[in-house]
Amino acid sequence: MSDLRKLLGFVKPYRGLALFALVMLLGMVALDLAIPRLVERIIDEGVKRKDMAVVLGTSALMLAISALSALVAVLNSNSSVRVGESVARDIREAVFVKILGFPYGNLDRFSTGKLMVRLTSDASAVQRLTQVSLRIGTRAPLSMLGSIALMFVTSPVLASLMIPILALAAAVIAFFRRTSRERASSSPSCGPTAR
């Protein structure tokens, strides 16, 4: 937990930009969830009542929402990439300063390759984690919660029937995920055996 706090400390100087990325993400999810409601409006009020003005007006609104969603997605991606790159840069600098402060005995004990991995690969992994957290990793749960809320708004009876099915599907996914992890950890390595 203390390691996570240290990593969050590197995000802290960019919390304004990270918050902007999350706000853009919320906007993107809200715009994406608005499209099915507009399709419902086209069907119920336009096609069913044969009102072409509703169909055209709602279609134009859907196009505008799609364009706005694309703009919000670009802003989210730009800000999350900037946060990730800045965090990785700061981590590399902090690790490099730490390495420079090592006594010569420690420098002899650590191989150059391990130190280079810490400066490059590990910092890049934290960069990707930061970017995913501000983009895809947060978007999926928000979309799921928003979809469930829309189900209850649209039809509470149908939503109450869907919730047990969703819970069962989540349990099955969790079971298969745990089983595949156990098999992956217990399987022998595929590399060539020494003779």
The answer, yes or no, to whether residue 195 has pLDDT greater than 50, is no
| pLDDT tens digits along 77-87 | 999 999 999 99
Q: For residue 154, is it within any domain? A: no
So what's the pLDDT on residue 155? 85
Q: Cβ(28)–Cβ(139) under 8 Å? A: yes
Angle at 64 between CA 19 and CA 20, to 5 degrees: 5
Q: Residue 15 carries which side chain, given as an amino acid letter?
A: R
Confirm whether 141 is domain-assigned. Answer: no
What are the C-alpha distances in Å from 127 to residues 15, 36, 84, 106, 131?
15, 34, 5, 27, 6
Stretch among 94-103, 105-114, 168-177 having the lowest mean pLDDT: 105-114
Q: Which domain holds residue 52?
A: 2-134
Residue by residue, DSSP assigns 67-98 as HHHHHHHHHHHHHHHHHHHHHHHHHHHHHHHH
Confidence of residue 187 (pLDDT cuts 50, 70, 90): low
The pLDDT tens digits for 146-168 are: 888 888 888 889 888 888 898 89
More confident residue, 155 or 73: 73
How many domains, in total, are found in the chain? 1
Q: What percent of the chain has pLDDT over 90?
A: 35
Cβ–Cβ under 8 Å, residues 139 and 22: no
Structural domain contains residue 152: no
| pLDDT confidence of residue 1 | 58
Contact 159, 151 (CB under 8 A): yes
Q: What is the CATH number of the domain that holds 18?
A: 1.20.1560.10
Helix axes 2-11, 123-133, angle to 10 degrees: 70
The yes-or-no verdict on residue 46 having pLDDT over 90 is no
pLDDT band at 107, cuts 50/70/90? low
Tell me the pTM. Answer: 0.75
pLDDT reported for residue 23: 94
8 A C-beta contact, residue 77 and residue 135: yes
Question: 122 in a domain, yes or no?
Answer: yes
